[in-house]
Amino acid sequence: MAFKTSLSCACNVFFRHFSRTTLKSSPITQPKFPGAKTSWTEKLQFTEPSQYTPIPVYRVMDRTGNILDATQEPQIKDEILLKMYKDMSVLNVMDKILYESQRQGRISFYMTNYGEEATHIGSAAALTLDDLVYGQYREAGVLMYRGFSLQDFVDQCYGNSDDKGRGKQMPVHYGSKDLNFVTISSPLTTQMPQAVGSAFALKGTNKVVVCYFGDGSASEGDAHAALNFSATLECPVIFFCRNNGYAISTPVNEQYRGDGIAGKGVSYGINTLRVDGNDVLAVYNVTKLAKEYAVKENKPVLIEAMTYRVGDHSTSDDSSAYRSPKEVADWATNDYPTKKFRYYLESKGLWNGDKEKQLLEQTKKDVMSAFSVGEKKLKPKWTEMYEDVYKFLPAHIRKQRDSMVEHLKKYKEHYPIDSFQK
């Protein structure tokens, strides 16, 4: 009975409101549905992708290093500009040598960064060491800028005793706790929701999380989850997409339709920037703005850096099977980020042919020496294989290890035991 009464009361209330609104003549201009804030229309029509103006590509320099709008030239100290240029060049030399070492069978795998140097260095220069970086795998320049030495790179690729990863990961799966760079993980895009989780944890600390990913990785479901959650949870994270045109052999027109990766940002309610990824100054400016905004507002930003993967996908790939050498050569000669930056530095009187020659010679020497030192180092102690499966070594793993120790006592001569640390 009680139920019936209250129900009829509710009805009364409802009808009263209803009749009052219908009687009012002033029209409701805004729909009130909770699902979208927008206007009404009485026109039946599609919203077509073609009605949408694609997000423009922000740049600072033209292809020859001229500043296009003086107000956009970042005020970066000369020594920083030179460090940026130097790291871009060193990255290049290191790639050449480590790529070759894979070809010679000295390491099992390698991935080069050719053509994408400006996305790494421009963004890294706009961040601080406090900021947390999640990479995909083609971001060696970011790590280099943050202070990972040539020896650190080589040691990881060799998995030797000085490798911070203790020889547990494939080459190029770098990581450094000191440099706030999360160890690379092979399964694509898993880093994106993780980055949002970290940003959630770091909210309000004036730090930002930067998460790099490729145009191909953006197709994984995790990318959707990451973008959506970052917006709803309001996390200070910068999603940095390196759109280099290909995911192994898959060109972007088979990867997605619509206005690239940037186009998605807006629909997630995320402030978005699209930038010339071959223009290191432009990348610097967008990352700086993104960080300021993300930290101040506790909100995510999406950056899409347009670039081109000049090298093969990895040492397991031969890209001539799916793209023309002419296409590659065109990017390598006419819009190479390092070259563009060099023109700029030359115009400022900061660089010249002699310095270039000196830098290349010195770098080659440095890489080669890191390389030969790294190659000679012992592998981590072989019992490392049983470490770090769990925080505390459980009995069954200890048993495996101990039986291996016993076994090696007997049959030492059959194992390359001397190549491992004692």
Ligand X SMILES: Cc1ncc(C[n+]2csc(CCOP(=O)(O)OP(=O)(O)O)c2C)c(N)n1
Active site residues: 100, 186, 313-314
**Distance in angstroms (rounded) separating the CA atoms of residues 42 and 28:** 14
Strand 181-182 to 209-214 pairing:
unpaired
**Distance in angstroms (rounded) separating the CA atoms of residues 268 and 257:** 16
What are the structure tokens assigned to 334, written together?
Answer: 């006419």
Spell out, one character per residue from 328 to 347, where the chain touches ligand X: x when CB under 6 A holds, - when not.
--------------------
Q: Least distance (Å) from ligand X to the CB of residue 171?
A: 14
**Does 164 engage in binding with other proteins (CB under 8 A)?**
no
Q: Decide if 138 contacts 116 (C-beta within 8 A).
A: yes
**Distance in angstroms (rounded) separating the CA atoms of residues 287 and 241:** 12
- Name the binder of 404 from ligand X, other proteins, none, CB < 5-8 A by kind: other proteins
- Select 113 or 160, whichever has its Cβ closest to ligand X: 113
Among 174, 240, 246, 308, binds ligand X (CB under 6 A): 246
Q: Least distance (Å) from other proteins to the CB of residue 46?
A: 24
Residue at 258: amino acid letter: G
Spell out, one character per residue from 205 to 244, where the chain touches other proteins: x when CB under 8 A holds, - when not.
-----------xx-xxx-----------------------
Q: How far is CA 418 from the centre of its chain?
A: 39
Phi, psi of 67, rounded to the nearest 5 degrees: -75, 130
Spell out, one character per residue from 170 to 189, where the chain touches ligand X: x when CB under 6 A holds, - when not.
----------------xxx-
Range in contact with other proteins (rule: CB under 8 A) among 33-41, 167-175, 280-288, 336-344: 167-175
**Does 313 engage in binding with ligand X (CB under 6 A)?**
yes
**Distance in angstroms (rounded) separating the CA atoms of residues 291 and 45:** 39
- Name the binder of 313 from other proteins, ligand X, none, CB < 5-8 A by kind: ligand X
Residues numbered 51-110 forming contacts with other proteins, rule: CB under 8 A: 108-109
Q: What is the 3-state secondary structure (H, E, C) of 347-403?
A: HCCCCCHHHHHHHHHHHHHHHHHHHHHHHHCCECCHHHHHCCCCCCCCHHHHHHHHH
The residues with which 182 forms a beta bridge, in sequence order, are 134
Residues numbered 99-128 forming contacts with ligand X, rule: CB under 6 A: none
Residues numbered 351-380 forming contacts with other proteins, rule: CB under 8 A: 379-380
Rounded alpha-carbon distances, angstroms, from residue 385 to 147, 176, 243: 28, 20, 37
Compute the radius of gyration of the chain from its Cα atoms. Answer: 27
Q: Three-state DSSP class for 108? A: coil
Among 247, 275, 280, 283, binds ligand X (CB under 6 A): 247
**Does 309 engage in binding with ligand X (CB under 6 A)?**
yes
Spell out, one character per residue from 33 to 72, where the chain touches ligand X: x when CB under 6 A holds, - when not.
----------------------------------------
Burial of 3 (0-12, 13-18, 19+ CB in 10 A): exposed
Helix %, strand %, coil % for the chain, to 5?
Answer: 50, 10, 40
Residues numbered 217-236 forming contacts with ligand X, rule: CB under 6 A: 217
- Select 153 or 246, whichever has its Cβ closest to ligand X: 246
- Residues binding other proteins (CB under 8 A): 108-109, 159, 167-170, 173, 185-189, 216-217, 219-221, 247-250, 254-256, 321-322, 379-380, 382, 384-386, 389, 396-397, 400, 403-404, 407, 410-411, 414-416, 419
- Residues binding ligand X (CB under 6 A): 138, 186-188, 214-217, 242, 244, 246-248, 309, 313
